[in-house]
Structures are given as C-alpha cells and as structure tokens.
Chain A
C-alpha cells in the first residue's frame, strides 16, 4: 500500500461518457440512436459508439441481468434471457399476446409493402382488414402514415419502432427478402397456368 486512495471509479473520459449513456438508456422507454445520444451528451458520435461498445461488453448475456441490444435503429436495455421466467411471472406482454394468424399476415403486409392502405391489405388477403388493422393500431404495432392519392384518399399504415423492437429487428431491412419466401408461390403459378392452358 502506497497510501494513495482507492480509485473505485475510473476517470477515463470514455468511461465517464459511458456512465452518462448508461443513465440515458435507463431513463429512455424506447431505443436511442447514436445521434440522439450524442446530442444529449453534447459529445462526438464516434466517442458515443465507443462508449456503447464498452456498455455492450459490460451489459451482455451471462454477465449482467440487464443486456444492451441494438434494436429498432437504436440502442436499448432489456432484461437478460436468464431472467425471463421471473419477468414472465411478474409482467404481461400485452403487445404481442394472442396475435391471430390474420394479424400476423396483416403485419407482414404492412411491414413489407407499407405504407399500405386497408383496401390494399384486403385485396391481398381476400378478407376485410378493418378490425385487424384497428387491433394492430391499438397495440401500437402499426400507425397511420398519410393517405393515398386519388379520390378515395384511404389511410395508409406502416409499422412502428415498437414492431421492430417486439420482433427483435434492428430495422425493417433485417426482414428476409420477400422473393426468398416465394419458392412455393412459383409452383402455384406454374400449376395454375398448366390448368388454364
């Protein structure tokens, strides 16, 4: 012992920034982008990314009950997976509870084709979409996004950041390519054309 005081808290500038970022993420109820954090901390975005890297190492699965994740275009804290059972006993998951097949199909259409109107959703699914769309709006998974041009002026919908967060997507770009999902569709096309000819 050289008699100097114990340094429990690092004075490294990036560490200080990381603690501030950590505080912001605890207060935020939605993912924060690097730019938003940089503006709030009045710091450089590159340094913010470095600080986020430190936090990512500190708050990761197996090391902490809180995990930092990159989701919905930003950064947010969530509970670790090992705490899921305890969370399940205490908290509901109202947003995704009892999502019907119709709701999932409507969500897929809005996610891939949005902004898209109810008539367009009904045309693709072959069933009126009014109540399903209303239910998804109420859950906060989709929201209004303007109106169609033309005489009908139907309201158009798109997915919300909450949709990306619930499904654990960094962005809509993380969805699989639509063409990759249509292998069987090509079969239908060929079969129908064979029957028709």
Chain B
C-alpha cells in the first residue's frame, strides 16, 4: 500500500493533525502560512519514508508538488515586498542570495546550539531573581495631540449608547385554552384526528402548548390517545368513540 501524503500526521508548533487538513486551513486563511514550519513537515515526511523498505516515488512526487505550493505561499506571505526584487535576479544571483540566507540561518542555528549547551552547563547556577527592573525600561512617547480633537473624542465616549432591544428574545406562549377549544371543535366535527397534521405549520412554541392542551384533554377523560410506535403520528379519538370500539371488538371476539 502506498504512502498517503495527505494523511501524513504532523505535530508542529502551530498545528497538529493530518497534512491535508493543514493545507485546507492555509488555503482558507485560518492558519497564516508564516506560522507553518515547512522544515518540520519535510522532516515528518522523510521519517515516514524511512520507515518503509522501498522508495515510494508517487508519494514523493505528490509531496514535492504540495510542499512547493505551500513554500511559495509562505514566501509570498513573508516577503511580499521582495517579490519583484527577487524576480529580477538572474538564476546565479538568486542562488547566491539563497545561499547567503541559508548560511545566515545556519550560523544562527549553531549559535542557538551553543547557547543551549551553555545553558545546560549552567544548570547548577542558582541565584536570586529580581523583579521587572532587570529589563531595561523603554519609554514609549505619544505623538503630539491636538486638545480640541482629544475633547471631541472624549465627548464621543460620553454619549450614552443606545439601549439594545431584547424583544426578539422573548417567548410568547399562546393560551392553552385556545387549543383546548380548537381540539374540542375538531372532535365535534370528526371522531378521529391526527395531532401532527393538526399542528402542522405552527411554531415550536405553539406546538408545545398544543401538546399540553392534548394532555389536558386526556387527563379530563375527553379523549383517548394512540401511537403505533415511538415518534409515529399521535392519533386522537373521542373518548366515548374509543369505548364503543373496544366494546365492539370485545363482542366480536
């Protein structure tokens, strides 16, 4: 079975999950390309490749296409102003520029390694830690302000904001009696009716109140309820009609 590039599991600083989901999030602008550690993805892919005995050229090709697209996106995002400048470079110059940047990064990685080793060697040094004054205080001055404009801005803040209307959030319950009368009227015309059909088109709140009315009628013995199975339509019958049916059934038995 081939290596599925899209299912490649990643564990990066900015993302954890399959590669195709990362690509989808980048395309949808939900992850900034600048946040994506491309080298980390490549390492993950190479590790997956190394776990296999044979070289999966198809997977490598697919990966190259995807990672190149991602790299281009990231480069455009990180260096928008340099696009034109780099496009004007001859291939040799572009290679030199790339080499210069790689060399710079490599030196910084080496410096970071030196610092990490240094820190490891200093593990036994304990000293008293001072509070904030250790950091140099940087004074950030505000630009010159026009007093009249400041006053105008303050006046804008002093205006009482309009009250937010919550009227749309209020639940309006119709009276239960309204449905009691409605169902009684229906039963005067018909011996049997279907509850779901009768309340079709009403709002959820109205349907709930109608159901309460139905329970009320059942409690008072005016109706009988039947349902073939859970969630099947509720059949409503006049109580005396139901009793007649039961009596007829008993006699014929």
Asked if residues A143 and B32 are in contact (CB atoms below 8 Å), the reply is no
Query: A185 vs B127: C-alpha distance in the bound complex, in angstroms?
Result: 37
Query: A104 vs B113: C-alpha distance in the bound complex, in angstroms?
Result: 8
Most chain A CB inside 10 Å of its own CB: which residue of B113, B122, B135: B135
Q: With A96-B119, A185-B102 given, is the CB distance from A111 to B129 under 8 Å?
A: no
0/1 string, B69-94, CB within 8 A of A gives 1: 00000100011000000000001101
Q: With A29-B130, A104-B116 given, is the CB distance from A181 to B138 under 8 Å?
A: no
Asked if residues B112 and A192 are in contact (CB atoms below 8 Å), the reply is no
Most chain B CB inside 10 Å of its own CB: which residue of A84, A186, A188: A188
Asked if residues A108 and B138 are in contact (CB atoms below 8 Å), the reply is no
Query: Does A168 count as interface, using CB distance less than 8 angstroms?
Result: yes
Query: A135 vs B35: C-alpha distance in the bound complex, in angstroms?
Result: 15
Query: Does B24 count as interface, using CB distance less than 8 angstroms?
Result: no
Query: A62 vs B34: C-alpha distance in the bound complex, in angstroms?
Result: 51
In the complex, residue of chain A having the shortest beta-carbon distance to the beta carbon of B136 = A143
Query: Does B128 count as interface, using CB distance less than 8 angstroms?
Result: yes
Q: With A128-B34, A167-B118 given, is the CB distance from A108 to B127 under 8 Å?
A: no
Q: Which of B2-61 contact A (CB under 8 A)?
A: 13, 32, 34-39
Asked if residues B78 and A122 are in contact (CB atoms below 8 Å), the reply is yes
In the complex, residue of chain B having the shortest beta-carbon distance to the beta carbon of A183 = B110
0/1 string, A57-86, CB within 8 A of B gives 1: 000000000000000000011110101100
Asked if residues A168 and B122 are in contact (CB atoms below 8 Å), the reply is yes
Asked if residues A145 and B108 are in contact (CB atoms below 8 Å), the reply is no
Q: With A78-B127, A182-B107 given, is the CB distance from A144 to B115 under 8 Å?
A: no
Query: Does B226 count as interface, using CB distance less than 8 angstroms?
Result: no
Asked if residues B103 and A108 are in contact (CB atoms below 8 Å), the reply is no
What's the nearest-Cβ distance from chain A to residue B162, in Å?
37
Q: What residues of chain B lie closer than 8 Å to A188, measured between beta carbons?
A: 99, 102-103, 106
Asked if residues A143 and B126 are in contact (CB atoms below 8 Å), the reply is no
Query: Does B124 count as interface, using CB distance less than 8 angstroms?
Result: yes
Query: Does A184 count as interface, using CB distance less than 8 angstroms?
Result: yes
Contact for A126 among B105, B112, B121, B140, CB less than 8 A: B105
Asked if residues B103 and A186 are in contact (CB atoms below 8 Å), the reply is yes
Asked if residues A145 and B38 are in contact (CB atoms below 8 Å), the reply is no
Task: Please count how many residues in chain A sit with their CB below 8 Å of the partner chain's CB atoms.
Answer: 63
Contact for B126 among A84, A161, A197, CB less than 8 A: A84
Query: Does A134 count as interface, using CB distance less than 8 angstroms?
Result: no
In the complex, residue of chain B having the shortest beta-carbon distance to the beta carbon of A147 = B140
Q: What residues of chain A lie closer than 8 Å to B125, measured between beta carbons?
A: 78-79, 81, 84, 168
Query: Does B229 count as interface, using CB distance less than 8 angstroms?
Result: no
Q: With A87-B126, A167-B122, A192-B99 given, is the CB distance from A125 to B108 under 8 Å?
A: yes
Query: Does B131 count as interface, using CB distance less than 8 angstroms?
Result: yes
In the complex, residue of chain B having the shortest beta-carbon distance to the beta carbon of A108 = B111
Q: With A126-B105, A128-B35 given, is the CB distance from A184 to B126 under 8 Å?
A: no
22 A–B pairs (Cβ distance < 8 Å), ordered by A? A29-B128, A29-B131, A29-B133, A30-B130, A79-B127, A91-B126, A104-B113, A105-B108, A108-B115, A123-B78, A126-B38, A127-B34, A127-B37, A140-B132, A160-B135, A165-B127, A166-B119, A185-B110, A186-B103, A188-B106, A193-B92, A196-B91
Hey, which bits of chain B sit against chain A, CB under 8 A?
Answer: 13, 32, 34-39, 74, 78-79, 91-92, 94-96, 98-116, 118-119, 121-136, 138, 140
Hey, which bits of chain A sit against chain B, CB under 8 A?
Answer: 28-30, 76-79, 81, 83-84, 87-88, 91, 93, 95-96, 99-102, 104-105, 107-109, 111-112, 122-128, 140, 143-146, 158, 160-162, 165-169, 175-176, 178, 181-182, 184-186, 188-189, 192-193, 195-197
Other A-B pairs, 9, CB within 8 Å; known A128-B78, A196-B92:
A29-B131, A30-B134, A108-B112, A123-B78, A160-B136, A176-B111, A178-B111, A189-B103, A192-B99
